[in-house]
A and B are shown apart, each in its own frame.
Chain A
Amino acid sequence: MNIINLFRIAWKALLRNKLRAFLTMLGIIIGVASVITMVAIGEGSKQSIRNQLSGMGSNMINIRPSSNFTVGGGARLGASSLQTLKVDDVNAIKNDAHFITAVSPGVTSNGQVINGALNWPTSIQGVSPDYLSIREWGLKDGINFTDEDVKTAAKVCLIGQTIVENVFVNGENPIGKVIRFGKIPLKVIGILTEKGENTFGQDQDDVILAPYTTVQKRILAVPYVQTIYASAVNEQSSDTATKEITAILRKQHKLKATDEDDFNIRTQAELISTISSTSELLTVLLAAIAGISLVVGGIGIMNIMYVSVTERTKEIGLRMSIGARGIDILLQFLVEAILISVTGGIIGVILGISASQLVNMILQWPILISDSSILLSFLVCAVTGVFFGYYPAQKASKLDPIEALRYE
């Protein structure tokens, strides 16, 4: 018997029992649709977290003093109170590291920003002009400050959108205006593009950027830096860059081979993988639940095929008496099972994609329909058809034609 005949026979057999075929399919449809939707939601949330983190600069490397470093008496101190990182360290990294494209010191102070009658509590970040490229941050308006501004500890600043909204009245152009941070007047020379909230819900636009020298000398009156921001050549090289920085800083700080690092390096890549793994788990869980429903659907197929074989014993007898071989009967029932599962799979894929889009539209959840989840669930349901269809089909093919013909 050729393959077209085989499909023709199986298809006609299914059409003779449309409702039952559809109900059996329903199990598979729901299974496949839920796998696709669940994975789309899981992948979507993973993707959006990833995007947010990358928005902070996916190559970014953060260096802070280590609280593992102990000062006299063995007491460990909080990172912010440590003064081990110097501007010299920043320069050393800038000059010696090969896998670093940009580096910037960072000093922060909290305070009140005042413009005329309006004021707002915020923080000021003292950085170098390279900071914007490290954070992959742009200017909406105005210009960045320069190395010259750093050298002279110029009283200039860049402000985030939240500051614009809170200390400037509507329509007022902040560029060129002088605002005060605490007692220090700062001229606004640029407005940062909006970044929104970060993954942890912090408003990234609630910030003032100024030359680090300005913050060190005029606001905090400290010689050290609190953080060093650096940017690796690319995401892959952040590990190499980390090693490089470690070597440079250990040399700078004259640490002996036995000493622990007195600083702490964190890469954005690390953070991304940590958070991604959490949502990875979510995806796997969702997929597992959906997978179970696919298996239940498969058992439904097996059940129906069993009933069908018993119910159609006489038909099987007839087919055998007019020349169907055991293998023909086996293949017919197997193909029926596969047709049910594959047709169900196709409908399930369509339904799953639509459901994902609906979730996206109505609930505004990010979704990501991956080709692999479609392919996988489709394969699984085809395999389900073969697996759960085989046993009943084999039972049918083993029937004795004489007994099958006499079956009532």
Chain B
Amino acid sequence: MANPILDMQHLKREFKMGSETVRALKGISFSVNPGEFVTIMGSSGSGKTTLLNIVGCLDQPTEGDYLLDGVNVRYLSRNQLARLRNRKIGFVFQSYNLLARTSALENVELPLLYNSGISADVRKVKAVKALEAVKLSDRLDHLPNQLSGGQQQRVAIARALVNEPVMILADEATGNLDTRTSYEIMSLLQELNTQQGKTIVFVTHEPDIAAFSQRTVTLKDGRVIKDAKNENVRSAREALENLPVNDDY
């Protein structure tokens, strides 16, 4: 078996709030293998966001080790973290976070601008390819305000894909979308996972969404309370087809 993409050992994270110490994560251990589609579930206050920040290399653990693709994140500087985010992680946010008044293509090119090894020509080719992968090759020059929510999120996914990261990290990526569009996005992610072998870590609080993944890690009060394989993974494509065609408009 290949080395895990993501390996967490007794991860702890504490925050100092004045004189009090808030213990957000109280020792979390789990690992994710290449090609897995994992959801991290948990209600608010479970430490989900703190974990997401650490997994995304935006934050570092107070105690314990976190290895991303073999690199221990705990001892890295700010700049090394930035480099890691650029090369290994593709973020997808709830609110898309596209740059306004900037074309889809340029939005997708953005992570490559921070990778000095990539020339302008390669950048464009890669960005077009990423947009093709999310089926938006006919929307290259559209601005975010000319795109629907689902399309914007697909641009964001293309942006996450463009650097060929080892892991796509989605933070409530369907939170702002209606059911049909959510299913569309999940279908796209499932496709990327099964057909291109992308490792996906999806943070959500909706069990409905978690049903599309192969494995669900559930957090509560800063600890993992459940880590279960999903025996019958729902297909988002089928779910989409089963939705009534005409919603009651």
Chain A residues near B101: list those with CB within 8 A: 16
- Interface check A86, CB cutoff 8 A: no
A327-B79 contact in complex given A321-B58, A321-B91, C-beta closer than 8 Å: yes
Q: Is A157 an interface residue (CB 8 A)?
A: no
Interface string of A1-28 (1 = CB under 8 A from B): 1101100110010001000000000000
- A323's partner among B83, B106, B120 (CB-CB below 8 A) is B83
Asked whether, in the complex, the Cβ of A16 is within 8 Å of the Cβ of B78, the reply is: no
List chain A positions with a Cβ less than 8 A from chain B. 1-2, 4-5, 8-9, 12, 16, 314-315, 317-328, 401-402, 405
CA distance A26 to B110 in the complex (A): 30
Contact of A328 with B114 in the complex, beta carbons under 8 Å: yes
Q: Please state if B99 and A318 are interface contacts (CB–CB under 8 Å).
A: yes
Contacts of B100 in A (CB 8 A): 16
> B239 on the interface (CB 8 Å rule)?
no
Query: Distance in Å from the Cβ of B196 to the closest Cβ of chain A?
Result: 20
Q: How many residue pairs at the A-B interface have CB separations less than 8 Å?
A: 69
In contact, B82 and A314 (Cβ under 8 angstroms)? no
Sorting the interface of chain B by its residue count into under 10, 10 to 19, 20 to 34 or 35 or more gives: 20 to 34
Residues of B within 8 A of A (CB): 53, 56, 58-59, 78-79, 82-83, 85-87, 91, 93, 97, 99-102, 106, 110-111, 113-116, 120, 159, 163
B116's partner among A1, A314, A405 (CB-CB below 8 A) is A1
Known: A314-B97, A321-B91, A325-B114. 14 other contacts (CB 8 A): A1-B113, A1-B116, A16-B102, A318-B97, A319-B110, A320-B58, A320-B82, A322-B85, A322-B91, A322-B111, A323-B82, A325-B83, A326-B78, A327-B79
Residues of chain A lying within 8 A (CB to CB) of residue B111: 322-323
Q: Is there contact, CB below 8 Å, between B110 and A401?
A: no
- The answer on a CB contact under 8 Å between A323 and B86 is yes
Q: Residue B53 contacts which of A12, A325, A327, A402 (CB distance < 8 angstroms)?
A: A402
Decide if B93 touches A325 in the complex (CB within 8 Å). Answer: no
Q: Which residue of chain B lies nearest to A4 when distances are taken between CB atoms in the complex? A: B120
Which of chain A's residues have a CB closer than 8 A to the CB of B58? 320-321, 401-402, 405
User: Can you list 6 contacts pairing A with B, beta carbon distance less than 8 Å?
Assistant: A5-B114, A318-B99, A322-B91, A322-B163, A323-B86, A325-B78
- Report the bound CA distance from A9 to B102 in whole Å: 11
Chain B residues with Cβ below 8 Å from A9 are 113
Q: State A2–B123 Cα separation when bound (angstroms).
A: 13
Q: B79 contacts which chain A residues (CB < 8 A)?
A: 325-327
List chain A residues, Cβ under 8 A from B87: 323
Write the nearest CB–CB distance from B114 to chain A, whole angstroms. 4
Contacts of B114 in A (CB 8 A): 1, 5, 319, 322-325, 328
Contact: A325 with B82, CB < 8 Å?
Answer: yes
Residues of A within 8 A of B102 (CB): 12, 16
Contact of A322 among B53, B59, B78, B86 (CB under 8 A): B86
- Report the separation of the CA atoms of residues A169 and B114 in the bound assembly, to the nearest whole angstrom: 86
Alpha-carbon separation in the docked complex, A325 to B57 (Å): 13
Q: How far is the CB of B142 from chain A (nearest CB, A)?
A: 15
Q: What CA separation (Å) do A122 and B199 show in the bound complex?
A: 105
Which residues from B are CB-within-8-Å of A324? 82, 86, 114
Q: How long is the Cα–Cα vector from A401 to B53 in the complex, in angstroms?
A: 10
B53 CB contacts on chain A under 8 angstroms: 402
What are the residues of chain B within 8 A of A8 when measuring CB–CB? 113
Top 5 A-B residue pairs of the complex, sorted by shortest distance between their CB atoms: A323-B86, A325-B82, A322-B111, A323-B114, A16-B101
- Expressed in whole angstroms, the Cα–Cα distance for A318 and B97 within the complex equals 7
The 8 Å CB contact of B85, one of A16, A315, A323, A327, is A323
CA distance A8 to B113 in the complex (A): 9
Tell me the minimal C-beta distance from B175 to chain A in angstroms: 14
Known: A321-B91, A322-B159, A325-B82. A315 touches B113 (CB 8 A): no
Least Cβ distance of A120 to chain B in Å?
A: 78
B85: nearest chain-A partner, CB-CB:
A323
Contacts of A320 in B (CB 8 A): 58, 82, 85
Q: Nearest Cβ in chain A — how far from B119, in angstroms?
A: 9
Residues of B within 8 A of A401 (CB): 58
B59 contact set on A, CB distance < 8 A: 402
Question: In the assembled complex, which residues on chain B have CB atoms less than 8 Å from the CB atom of A5?
Answer: 113-114, 116
